Structure 1
Amino acid sequence: MPAPSQDVRSASLAVRWAGLLALTALLSGLLALLRTPAPTLLGAIVAGVVVALGERRVPVPMAGFMLSQGLLGMMIARACPLPVFTELMRHWEVFLLGVTSVIVLSVGLGWQLARWRLLPGSTAIWGSFPGAATAMTLLAGEFGADVRLVALMQYLRVVMVASLMMVAATVVGGADAPAGHARVAWMAPVDGRGLTLTLGVGALAALAAWRWRPPGGALVLGLAAGVLMQDVAGLDIVLPPWLLAAAALCLGWNIGQRFDRAVIRHALRLLPRLLAVLSLLILLCTGMAALLVVWMDIDPLTAYLAMSPGGADSVALIAASSHVDAPFVMAMQTGRLLAVLAVGPAVARWVSRRSSLPPAPVQ
């Protein structure tokens, strides 16, 4: 039987791309209506899983994936300006306790997942780490964990925590609006010079990561470059919503299309126990928030958001539309994210070596 011509293959690829885009738009829209955090990213991941299970994978250009990681790092840098670190230094003992306690709780639960033979050690730790979910998922892949299962744990926790936070913000703090779901100004004017510079710096971070393969890859290099650009050179990091959405699509499709039927079956078997473990983590963190309320006289919603093990980006969205001490919340979340970036690889290796489950990913 003759091989399909180039035109036929191109037409087939175009059809698959059209299907992936349509499915992503549908899922992202539904998730946005349900007020799910990061609907574009989650929609892209689910769409990627669907096309992968249907053996209709679409090749996502590696250059776009690397650039998206660099831009994500720059987005984290934009959320960590110098005033955040000033807030950290003002209450350093509180932040040290808060950051350390949540990380220790997360690592302890990850260790138990490995000891119970539910997940390989490195995968269990990266899936349990608090911080920005996308950052943890990408870093997990850089350090040998199973990105698919890490993504399942991270985004499941994001949805659980964000849902509880929105309820708490409404009941306890009187949120001004549904957090993080104000109308996005997609076509707002953009500083062309700043956008060009931001894209150039992100591209350089991606190129350097491709060339030298440092730990953490383009994400960490983009974060470092963003800090230098914003806090040293005094330049604005310009990331319009449509650019962040495009980066989210590249990241989500790449992650989602790594799933296969064996991983899905394994994930469904794990789901009840993962829900129980993640619920326990959220409950313990809520207990730590109660201690902040009692010892430091911090208002309950501020303490809850500060100690939440959800993604820093989701917490930022809710804090911005609630009656809370936003600098305190973001200082705690940012400090924890930076701590995980610093110690995460070493902790994951240590647990992987000492857990009884071999670190190979699920096949």
Structure 2
Amino acid sequence: MSVDVDHSWLGRLPAPTQWALLVLCAAGAGQLLASMQVPAGRFLGPMVAAIAFALSGCTVRLPKVAFQGGQSVIGLMAAHSITTGVLVALTQAWPEMIFATVSTIALSLTVGLAMAHFGDLPGTTAIWGSTPGAASAMISMGEQYGADGRVVAAMQYVRVVCVVVCGALVSHFMGITSTHALAVASTMQWLPFTGGLVVIAIGIVFGNRLPAGALLIPLALGAVLQLTGVLHIALPGWFTALAMAAIGGYVGLRFDRPTVLYVLKRLPTMICCSMLLIAVSAALAYVIALLLHKDYLSVYLATSPGGLDSMAIIAVDSQADVSLVLAMQALRLFTVILVGPFLVKWVIERVSRLA
């Protein structure tokens, strides 16, 4: 039986009080998970807190510009990792990278169709939820093309958790120990920070003009400016944490009780399909590692169906070939953003005709 949010204890509180409680709980949850070294803890903590508030009748909502701003910051953070080494890796192994990209996308479409058939999910939602890339980009693009963004978010982050856990296990069983972590600026650098804010503002303003533009524009523009020496990307830790919290809060506050029950009922299927996609990608990585004469861990992370940011963190922390990982992950992200809508529409139309 559903509960009317207008009669819940949280919904009766004044909006400023709701905001204060939400910020405190989201910040505390994010800090707790980060201190426990949980991957993407500063995102997951605020998202879980926001979901709890939404289910308790919270009436405040983050504006979409906060979500777009968070996307722009993540895009700029990813641009920081686009170096000449990444570009060289692209030019040296482009046939294998294209093969890996096409294969992974085809596998994700297949898994998405299986989710739609066996998991009782709408086809568009299932496919966008299964498509690897940046999770925030897939959520944004899925919403633009008729998918349920809340379910897409749940599917994306269930898979991200599975990928991160599997990546850590692969590193462990290969005897690789952690050396260092991907870091942001340790001290405030005002000139680079101001330049970064300008790039982020451009992403927010023009982000609606193309799918996932709020992430893609800062990623591309930031990479060009950094490679040409115009801008040294340096974002303070509190700022990146705020961006992750904004994305998590925006997604979490959109959940309601029917959505949570809907996701929980299908959670086993989501996990099984995620593990199937990871396993097939791992087998594909073995073949590509032989073709490229590269270590298996690097190729595994490069082809793994996780997000560019999370794979970059694991790559840096596990002594993998960061340039190769970022090059292949970035290529797949750009490919999905550019052709994903057409592929999803084409697949849905063909399946509808056969049904």
Q: TM-score range by the shorter chain?
A: 0.7 to 0.9
Deviation digits for residues 6-38 of structure 1, max 9, x if unmatched? xxx997222212221232133223423443211
* Letter of the structure 2 residue corresponding to residue 44 of structure 1: P
Out of 187, 190, 204, the position equivalent to 1:189 is 187
Q: What residue in structure 2 maps to residue 350 of structure 1?
A: 346
Q: What residue in structure 2 maps to residue 315 of structure 1?
A: 311
Q: What residue in structure 2 maps to residue 94 of structure 1?
A: 96
TM, length-normalised to structure 1: 0.86
Q: What residue in structure 1 maps to residue 78 of structure 2?
A: 76
Q: What residue in structure 2 maps to residue 60 of structure 1?
A: 62
3-state DSSP of counterpart to 2:60: coil
Structure 2 vs 1, CA of residues 348 and 163 (structure 1 numbering), >3 Å: closer, same or farther? Answer: same
Deviation digits for residues 231-251 of structure 1, max 9, x if unmatched? 456322332221111111111
Does 1:292 find its partner at 2:271? Answer: no
Out of 214, 220, 223, the position equivalent to 2:219 is 223
Separation (CA, whole Å) in 1 of partners of 2:165 and 2:153: 18
* Deviation of 1:42 (Å): 0.9
Q: What residue in structure 2 maps to residue 3 of structure 1?
A: none
3-state DSSP of counterpart to 1:258: coil
Separation (CA, whole Å) in 2 of partners of 1:254 and 1:107: 27
3-state DSSP of counterpart to 2:14: helix
Aligned length: 343
Separation (CA, whole Å) in 1 of partners of 2:302 and 2:202: 34
* Deviation of 1:185 (Å): 7.2
* Letter of the structure 2 residue corresponding to residue 192 of structure 1: W
Q: What residue in structure 2 maps to residue 236 of structure 1?
A: 232
Deviation digits for residues 200-249 of structure 1, max 9, x if unmatched? 22113212346xx4333422333343244334563223322211111111
Structure 2 vs 1, CA of residues 297 and 224 (structure 1 numbering), >3 Å: closer, same or farther? Answer: closer
Out of 105, 108, 123, the position equivalent to 1:103 is 105
Separation (CA, whole Å) in 2 of partners of 1:261 and 1:162: 28
* Deviation of 1:320 (Å): 0.8
Alignment of 1:131-150 (within 5 A): 131-150=133-152
Alignment of 1:124-135 (within 5 A): 124-135=126-137
Separation (CA, whole Å) in 2 of partners of 1:27 and 1:10: 23
Separation (CA, whole Å) in 2 of partners of 1:160 and 1:222: 28
Separation (CA, whole Å) in 1 of partners of 2:184 and 2:203: 28
Deviation digits for residues 249-283 of structure 1, max 9, x if unmatched? 11111111111111111101111111111111111
Q: Percent of counterpart pairs with the same letter?
A: 36
Out of 112, 115, 122, the position equivalent to 2:124 is 122
Separation (CA, whole Å) in 2 of partners of 1:152 and 1:65: 16
Contact 2:184 2:235 (8 Å CA) reproduced: no
Separation (CA, whole Å) in 1 of partners of 2:314 and 2:172: 10
Q: What residue in structure 1 maps to residue 331 of structure 2?
A: 335
Separation (CA, whole Å) in 1 of partners of 2:134 and 2:33: 19
Separation (CA, whole Å) in 2 of partners of 1:342 and 1:206: 19
Unaligned runs of 5+ in 1: 1-8, 358-363
Contact 1:173 1:322 (8 Å CA) reproduced: no
Q: What residue in structure 1 maps to residue 204 of structure 2?
A: 206
3-state DSSP of counterpart to 1:341: helix
Unaligned runs of 5+ in 2: 1-10
Contact 1:37 1:158 (8 Å CA) reproduced: no
Q: Which runs of 4+ in 1 moved over 4 A?
A: none
* Letter of the structure 2 residue corresponding to residue 335 of structure 1: L
* Deviation of 1:64 (Å): 2.9
3-state DSSP of counterpart to 2:174: helix
* Letter of the structure 2 residue corresponding to residue 349 of structure 1: K
Does 1:306 find its partner at 2:302? Answer: yes
* Letter of the structure 2 residue corresponding to residue 199 of structure 1: L
3-state DSSP of counterpart to 1:259: coil
* Deviation of 1:84 (Å): 1.0
Contact 1:142 1:217 (8 Å CA) reproduced: no
* Letter of the structure 2 residue corresponding to residue 24 of structure 1: A
Contact 1:120 1:352 (8 Å CA) reproduced: no
Separation (CA, whole Å) in 2 of partners of 1:224 and 1:294: 31
Contact 2:112 2:127 (8 Å CA) reproduced: yes
* Deviation of 1:173 (Å): 4.2
* Letter of the structure 1 residue corresponding to residue 187 of structure 2: P
* Letter of the structure 2 residue corresponding to residue 272 of structure 1: P
Q: What residue in structure 2 maps to residue 50 of structure 1?
A: 52
Separation (CA, whole Å) in 1 of partners of 2:120 and 2:228: 45
Separation (CA, whole Å) in 1 of partners of 2:135 and 2:43: 11
Separation (CA, whole Å) in 2 of partners of 1:59 and 1:303: 41
Structure 2 vs 1, CA of residues 319 and 350 (structure 1 numbering), >3 Å: closer, same or farther? Answer: same
* Letter of the structure 1 residue corresponding to residue 212 of structure 2: G
* Deviation of 1:145 (Å): 1.6
**Farther-moved stretch of structure 1 (345-354 vs 259-268):** 345-354
